[in-house]
Amino acid sequence: MTQWIEIGALADIPRLGSRVVRTPGGNIAVFRTESDEVFALDDRCPHKGGPLSQGIVHNKRVTCPLHNFVIELASGQAVAPDEGCTHSHPAKVENGVVWLSVRQAVAVS
């Protein structure tokens, strides 16, 4: 099951910056581009687990602060020649508020 959670105001995330959301499934980095688009990725580089939230945002990409892996914000896919992928999460802005879609565990009895 998927649930949308309110992250906060878009203005609270700096342009070309990020904010970390802690979830039971791990940290998610929510990024804001220069044109106010938002994207969400697991806060973990596919290379060696570096914190993508501390990376440099440029265009619709983020560069990992540890080893300069470049990751596409929309897909989580590393840009060639780098290889790997980090999980992306749906994110949106409505009326200046950022929303993140997270998967909820469903109990099976």
Q: Residue 90: which domain range? A: 2-102
pLDDT of residue 1: 59
Tokens of 101: 């879609």
Residue with tokens 């009326």: 95
Q: What is the four-CA torsion angle of 30, 33, 36, 40, rounded to 10 degrees?
A: -20
CATH of residue 79's domain is 2.102.10.10
pLDDT tens-digit map of 60-92: 999 999 999 999 999 999 999 999 999 999 999
- Res. 31: pLDDT tops 60: yes
Q: Tell me the Cα Rg of the chain.
A: 14
Evaluate whether residue 109 is within a structural domain: no
pLDDT of residue 105: 44
The one-letter amino acid code at 23 reads T
SS3 33: coil
pLDDT tens-digit map of 35-61: 999 999 999 999 989 999 999 999 999
Tokens of 18: 């990020």
Number of domains in the chain: 1
